Amino acid sequence: MSVPVLTIDGPSGAGKGTVSRAVAKKMGWNYLDSGSIYRSLAIAVLKKKCDIADLKSVVKIAEAMILEFECGDELIVKLNGQNITSELPSQTTANTASIVAAYPEVRAVLLQKQRDFQKAPGLVADGRDMGTVVFPNALKKAYLTASAKERGKRRYKQLLEKGINANLAEITKEIEVRDRRDQERTAAPLKKADDALYIDSSDLPIEKVIEEVLNLVR
Ligand code: C5P
């Protein structure tokens, strides 16, 4: 029998990370933060001072990067042996990630790296195309969203908690631009899978959302 997968897709700041981590912990399942893979590529591209429009070079970097993940209370990511965890949350990383993520060739290279996370006893996969492209046969799927205003506030709070200076109006604007890019790209755009449960968490406490997703998968 194949290893069960729960996919949680949705736009930035919808609470996917918090919900996915909590559900994975409760179920004793593995956790894939697919956004961190795109963010790691963005960091690699920025470190190499590679022109983001130079598709061939970006693909080469994606093919060559060696990523290691340590999933404890906090996700630790190493890129080619170097700990890049503190560089993952920045807006520059996020915006660059969203630009390189629009290349179909890049997504093709990163597909297997994501599928490799499907290991017993189960997997919670968080991202934009988990239920539509990466794990279309997932056991259960959820699509988590919230109003742009609420998502901006949540991302702002997260950044402050991580010690990153932020401006609420700027963050809200940036996530709107990024979400639009993610929704409008032709390669694996952000969208709800037909068989995903739609959850709008704008007015829901996070505990309720976690409960709803746990009920879905139990
Ligand atoms: O989820 P996170 O904010 O870390 O994702 C950063 C960017 O990576 C997203 O804006 C999106 O462009 C890209 N991404 C993607 N597909 C995924 C996960 C993230 O295209 N499955």
CATH code: domain of residue 143: 3.40.50.300
Ligand 1 pocket, mutate which of 182, 185, 186 (most atoms under 8 A from CB): 182
Measured CA to CA, the distance from residue 122 to residue 87 in angstroms comes to: 29
Taking CA atoms only, the protein residue closest to ligand 1 atom 4 is 35
> For the whole model, what pTM was predicted?
0.95
DSSP state of 138: -
**SS3 assignment, position 141:** strand
Range of the domain at 83: 5-217
Please state the domain count of the chain. Answer: 1
Distance 207 CA to ligand 1 centre (A): 24
Per-residue pLDDT of the chain (218 residues; tens, 9 = 90+): 689 999 999 999 999 999 999 999 999 999 999 999 999 999 999 999 999 999 999 999 999 999 999 987 788 999 999 999 999 999 899 999 999 999 999 999 999 999 999 999 999 999 999 999 999 999 999 999 999 999 999 999 988 998 888 899 999 999 999 999 999 999 999 999 999 999 999 999 999 999 999 999 98
Q: What pairs with residue 7 in β-bridges?
A: 125, 141
Taking CA atoms only, the protein residue closest to ligand 1 atom 5 is 35
The DSSP bridge pattern shows strands 67-71 and 75-79 to be: antiparallel
